[in-house]
């Protein structure tokens, strides 16, 4: 149980990778020791920038974990559907933190951290690890099929056409990871 929550938490952290980059850009004046900035780096804004750096590193590590996940199961997806707008809807949750966040406003930081924790809880509880924009940037797309979701770097048309089961691993009971070149009997 603890391992599953840990893995899902890493995937949640990586799902917000674009947000971390956008936050660093939007608060760029805090990072530059020169220029005409009126903002001062406070202990909590400095800590938050360090935390964002750590979250970015964890996000990149999740890609390595995804690419090196052990292969030991197979899946033959039936009634596979093209991706819908779940990832886009998820990305739009970034708008709230970006519009309201100021590292120099302690209350703004606390509210956004609480929002982030609430979304983390829902992400874990609802088993939404297939919703991850960072994976999409690296070529992994989530498809729905009877029984769950498949995350793969294999084109939709290729998965639908083949009758050979895909080799990969289950990230959770409903979410299967398959990579190119990994097919039963291949």
**What 3-state class would DSSP assign to 175?**
strand
pLDDT of the residue at 186: 43
Q: What would you report as the CA-atom Rg of the chain, rounded to the nearest whole angstrom?
A: 19
pLDDT of the residue at 82: 82
Q: Using a CB cutoff of 8 Å and minimum separation of 24, what contacts does 94-103 make?
A: 94/16, 94/18, 94/19, 94/22, 97/19, 97/23, 98/19, 98/22, 98/23, 98/26, 101/23, 101/26, 101/27, 102/27, 103/27, 103/30, 103/39, 103/42, 103/44, 103/45, 103/48, 103/49
- 184 pLDDT band, cuts 50/70/90, is very low
What pTM does this model have? 0.73
pLDDT of the residue at 58: 92
Higher pLDDT, 23 or 15: 15
- The residues spanned by each domain of the chain are 2-183
Per residue in 162-173, pLDDT tens?
Answer: 778 888 988 888
Per residue in 32-78, pLDDT tens?
Answer: 554 445 555 566 567 777 888 899 999 998 888 888 888 888 888 88
Q: For residues 147 and 130, give the distance between their C-alpha atoms in angstroms, rounded to a whole number.
A: 14
Count the helix, strand and coil residues of the chain and give each as a percent rounded to the nearest 5.
Answer: 50, 15, 35
Per residue in 105-160, pLDDT tens?
Answer: 778 878 888 888 888 888 888 888 888 888 888 888 888 888 788 999 888 888 88
């Amino acid at each position: 149980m603890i391992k599953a929550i840990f893995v899902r938490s890493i995937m949640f952290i990586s799902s917000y990778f674009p947000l971390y980059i956008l936050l660093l850009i939007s608060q760029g004046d805090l990072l530059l020791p020169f220029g005409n900035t009126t903002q001062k780096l406070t202990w909590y804004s400095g800590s938050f920038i360090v935390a964002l750096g750590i979250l970015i590193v964890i996000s990149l590590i999740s890609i390595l974990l995804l690419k090196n996940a052990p292969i030991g199961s197979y899946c033959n997806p039936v009634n596979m559907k093209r991706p819908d707008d779940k990832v886009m809807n998820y990305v739009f949750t970034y708008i709230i933190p970006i519009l309201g966040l100021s590292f120099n406003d302690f209350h703004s930081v606390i509210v956004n951290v609480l929002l982030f924790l609430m979304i983390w809880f829902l992400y874990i509880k609802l088993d939404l690890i297939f919703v991850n924009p960072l994976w999409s940037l690296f070529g992994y797309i989530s498809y729905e099929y009877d029984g769950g979701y498949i995350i793969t770097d294999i084109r939709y048309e290729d998965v639908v056409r083949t009758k050979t089961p895909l080799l990969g691993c289950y990230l959770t009971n409903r979410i299967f990871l398959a990579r190119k070149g990994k097919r039963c009997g291949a």
